[in-house]
Amino acid sequence: MLNIGCHLSVSDGYEAICKEALSLGANTFQFFSRNPRGGKSAPLSPDDVKAMEDIMQKNSFAPVLAHASYTMNLCSADEKVRDFANRALKEDLEKFENMPCSLYNFHPGSHVGQGVEKGISLIADALNQAVNENQKTIVLLETMAGKGSEVGRCFEELREIIDRVNFKEKIGVCLDTCHVFDAGYDIVNDLDGVIAKFDDIIGLERLYAVHLNDSKNPVNSHKDRHEKIGEGYIGLEAITRIINHEKLRDLPFFLETPNDNQGYAEEIKLLRSKYI
């Protein structure tokens, strides 16, 4: 079975979001770990978490993915922003130890003129402060489009971060199809080549999730504008090859396409029909 879900917002708790995912034909989902505008994250309700566990188990959910807020920049040049990011990362990881949510994804960050080397070292330092040997959550670095001063615009940069982390077995990667295409990896004409490169530089054993998005822009644009499935430059044929690729097909796929719930339900249905 294709493991697929979409980005949903947690407004009424985790039981409600699981039911919402099911109603869309999904068997997983992604959600923001906290309000993207920052601030304290809401405390967990044990009853709600229990209900979430039950639904996930009964319906054979794939791993659910928590996405850190976009404002969490571990390699900002501003110490206050960095401190906030470090605290958010730690708090988030503590929170998810008490939830049936084993994947936590974040944008490595933007070095804002400090240089990619400095960015990589700040990100690795933050991970070494926050990640512990016994946690169950795997922390995923997202592949980025290379907009502005984003770190993680190529596989080598992600590899360099991982190399500097102490508990490497707790670190993985989430591959965003729009972002890698934007970063210059031609997953339309050379999917096998891109996957081989990923394996060579990072290792496929570190790939835990895929953000499945079409792109409003051609390969190598560094723009990061997601498009609906089949309506962008990646296209339905290439996306069909991605979900069916032998090295990817068992991973959880998460849609972050510009859709309302009705649109997500249609994309999920379409992609399930294309999964062989």
The answer to whether 240 and 212 have CB atoms below 8 angstroms apart is no
176 counts as binding Fe ion under rule CB under 5 A: yes
Number of residues engaging Fe ion in binding (CB under 5 A)? 3
Mark whether 7 is an active-site residue.
no
Mark whether 111 is an active-site residue.
no
Catalytic residue among 67, 82, 111, 153: 67
Mark whether 245 is an active-site residue.
no
DSSP letter assigned to residue 45: P
- How many Å apart are CA 154 and CA 183, to the nearest integer? 7
Mark whether 256 is an active-site residue.
yes
Q: How far is CA 24 from CA 29, 42, 274, in A?
A: 10, 26, 17
Q: Which residue is nearest to Zn ion (CB)?
A: 224
Catalytic residue among 20, 142, 150, 157: 142
Judged by beta carbon, residue 178 or residue 202, the one nearer Zn ion is 178
Q: Measured from the CB of residue 175, what is the shortest distance to Zn ion in angstroms?
A: 12
Catalytic residue among 92, 150, 256, 267: 256
Q: What percent of the residues of the chain are helix, what percent strand, and what percent coil, each to the nearest 5? A: 40, 15, 45
211 binds, among Zn ion, Fe ion, none (CB under 5 to 8 A by kind): Fe ion
The answer to whether 238 and 191 have CB atoms below 8 angstroms apart is yes
Mark whether 179 is an active-site residue.
yes
User: What part of residues 125-144 is at the interface with Fe ion (CB under 5 A)?
Assistant: 142
Q: Measured from the CB of residue 224, what is the shortest distance to Fe ion in angstroms?
A: 9
150 binds, among Zn ion, Fe ion, none (CB under 5 to 8 A by kind): none
- How many Å apart are CA 142 and CA 122, to the nearest integer? 16
Q: Measured from the CB of residue 244, what is the shortest distance to Fe ion in angstroms?
A: 21
Judged by beta carbon, residue 48 or residue 142, the one nearer Fe ion is 142
Q: Which amino acid is at 10?
A: V
Residues 6+ positions from 241 with CB-CB distance below 8 Å: 191
Catalytic residue among 211, 227, 264, 267: 211
Could you tell me where the beta strands, DSSP code E, fall in the chain?
Answer: 4-6, 30-32, 65-67, 103-106, 109-110, 138-142, 150-151, 171-176, 207-212, 214-215, 226-227, 253-255
Q: Which stretch binds Fe ion (CB under 5 A): 6-14, 117-125, 185-193, 211-219?
A: 211-219
170 binds, among Zn ion, Fe ion, none (CB under 5 to 8 A by kind): none
**Residues known to be catalytic:** 37, 67, 70, 107, 142, 176, 179, 211, 224, 226, 256
Query: Which residues of the shown chain bind Fe ion in the complex (CB under 5 A)?
Result: 142, 176, 211
